A and B are shown apart, each in its own frame.
Chain A
Amino acid sequence: GENVEQHPSTLSVQEGDSAVIKCTYSDSASNYFPWYKQELGKRPQLIIDIRSNVGEKKDQRIAVTLNKTAKHFSLHITETQPEDSAVYFCAASIGRASKIIFGSGTRLSIRP
């Protein structure tokens, strides 16, 4: 079935350290993988995305990697800062359609 699994559900890292969040998907035809950040009481906002024809993408302190063979993708945040504290959601398109389903989220806390 259509499924995106995300782990860990909670993650606490020291400020300045790196954080990694991992997701797996079930549909081998999925070709678009966005990541969203949601701060408390606010709407989810896109922070980075990747297509299946690319293995890695970076944007300043944020990077996403994709392993199509294993059907998993990861979000990497380096040099974490207090403002990185939020809930992060991975997502995947289903097949080649525009339908996008989300993982269950990771609550990231940055310790000062």
Chain B
Amino acid sequence: GAGVSQSPRYKVTKRGQDVALRCDPISGHVSLYWYRQALGQGPEFLTYFNYEAQQDKSGLPNDRFSAERPEGSISTLTIQRTEQRDSAMYRCASSSGVGQETDATNEKLFFGSGTQLSVL
């Protein structure tokens, strides 16, 4: 597709259930990011990948959250034993490449439409 695709668009689940959120980045994009965005707030960094390697997972709130990108393309963010406080918009973004010193082109982030997660 032409842009970053996320599924599902909406997810309603009961507390204690596991959820898996999918991100399909722009074809050929090396870097893939996961953010969480509360209503009226800025995107909160969770984790990011270059190719299949998870470069930084310092933003994951706790060990119930994990992410993978096994083949360097599609990524899945998994939340185990969901809690009400996990309710938020989860956004994926991708960029074309690892940052270079003089060229900002490959650091431009393109966001998906997000998955709105509601934990009841």
Contacts and interface: CB of A to CB of B under 8 A. Distances in A.
Interface residues on B, range: 20 to 34
Interface residues of A, number: 26
A107 B42 CA distance: 11
A43 B55 CA distance: 24
B99 A93 contact: yes
Interface in A89-105: 89, 93, 96-105
B55 A98 contact: yes
B98 A98 contact: yes
Contact of B33 (A45, A100, A105, A107): A100
B112 interface: yes
Given A43-B113, A43-B114, A96-B99, A105 B41 contact: yes
A104 B41 contact: yes
Interface in B15-45: 31, 33, 35, 40-45
Nearest to A53: B102
B55 A97 contact: yes
A99 B109 CA distance: 11
Closest 5 CB pairs of A and B: A102-B42, A43-B111, A102-B43, A104-B42, A105-B42
Interface of B: 31, 33, 35, 40-45, 48, 50, 55-56, 91, 95, 98-99, 101-102, 104, 107-114
Interface of A: 6, 31-32, 34, 43-46, 49-51, 53, 87, 89, 93, 96-105, 107
